[in-house]
Chains A and B, each alone.
Chain A
């Protein structure tokens, strides 16, 4: 009898240990399986991510925000923000896209430091040669290290020739200006997390870096020298690497598990509908990372709900071109962490998930129509499923 009790206690211990190790990190926490050194990089990077820049530290003269965390703040650091920024480019049909770097594009800074304001410049203007402008909301960064670790070949494997899929869904990878496969940004025009972070400092905060050692221009005109007191570069490569480590090791959001039976079965039904309506053709539920020396990112499954390709979403949503993405092309939005967002679509203009679905067009029109044709109970089930992501 005593032996049985000891055995029982041991088994319970093993089960509890297993449960503990399988526990998902909470929102804003780092990935499980990080080494002590990687955990330290995450913590150091979070500090730089939250660093508030002032003009004496290199902020501006033109900028959109004073820190990374100013825009990525809700519900925790690394999440979303209520800021909307402005982008502008030039598109000439059928295939010519100019990001207007020489005129201040594609990110048009919306704020200026007091020294620049004293010269009468309060923000950057839309370049005269731009053919369109776009509004962009802040995406949450949870799980982006896993997205970064997905091999290019996995993204390309989902490309289809136009019309090859019976529902008219094509989709293609966007390419960066240097020819790599893009995956980050609403038009997938950025290849890696490291590239994104290196560009976010100069373009969002006006902070020069070793790889961008001169200030962003004011629509092509260099900033007046007496408006930029900090010596260039205004941040070190090491600090940018720390921010990249923070974003790389930020865990994906934990899945919501309903304790209530009704919600649980509704969400299960919604998951089936998500597949049946063919939402999952583009919002691919899972992809796998490639081999890497970082154990926490090595051959892991990531529930991103995207194919990372750009698709024609119809004329009603069209805005700017970027790389090989036409004005109506958008990268399939990652639904990972959807339930933590308060605004939807690339520009934050949809107030609810349902509105966002109902505004899908182009290649997604058939799936949207199937959603609209659902009865109330099925619509509710699908939306309940999306609350679990």
Chain B
């Protein structure tokens, strides 16, 4: 039973990720530049697109004024530095009929390589 639930979850997440258009992923990536998440030693400031090695959308909720993504990231600060896996919550708000990024919250972070 547990295996079936796990497989269904993997399929659901996989199909959601696949369903996210590339344009939306690219928009997310570019909106992240200049944003900070976490703090102190556990702080990530997105400085360039090169730092975002992978980005996938795990979940997305939306109401007329707010859009919230849960995303999975693979990050690398510089060419020679360690890679980190992260999950983040990205919140957008609608202002003047346009979605604007409001904040990025770090949900989890780990060194992967």
Task: Spell out A's residues near B (CB within 8 Å).
Answer: 96-99, 101-102, 106-107, 175-180, 185, 189-191, 194-203, 209-214, 233, 237, 322-323
Contacts and interface: CB of A to CB of B under 8 A. Distances in A.
B103 interface: yes
Contacts of B14: none
Contacts of A214: 105, 107-108
B44 interface: yes
Query: What is the interface residue range for chain B against chain A?
Result: 20 to 34
B40 A195 contact: yes
Given A211-B103, A212-B105, A199 B43 contact: yes
Contacts, number: 110
Given A178-B51, A198-B38, A213-B106, 12 more contacts: A99-B41, A99-B111, A102-B109, A177-B84, A190-B43, A199-B43, A201-B39, A202-B39, A210-B103, A211-B36, A211-B37, A212-B106
* Of B37, B42, B110, most A-chain CB atoms within 10 Å: B42
* Of B38, B47, B81, B82, most A-chain CB atoms within 10 Å: B38
Interface of B: 36-47, 51, 75, 77-78, 81-82, 84, 89, 103-111
Contacts of A200: 39-40
B75 A178 contact: yes
> Which applies to chain A's interface (DSSP): helix, strand, loop or mixed?
mixed
A179 B47 contact: yes
Contact of B77 (A107, A175, A189, A190): A175
12 contacts: A101-B108, A101-B111, A102-B110, A178-B45, A178-B75, A195-B43, A198-B43, A199-B39, A202-B39, A203-B39, A203-B40, A210-B105
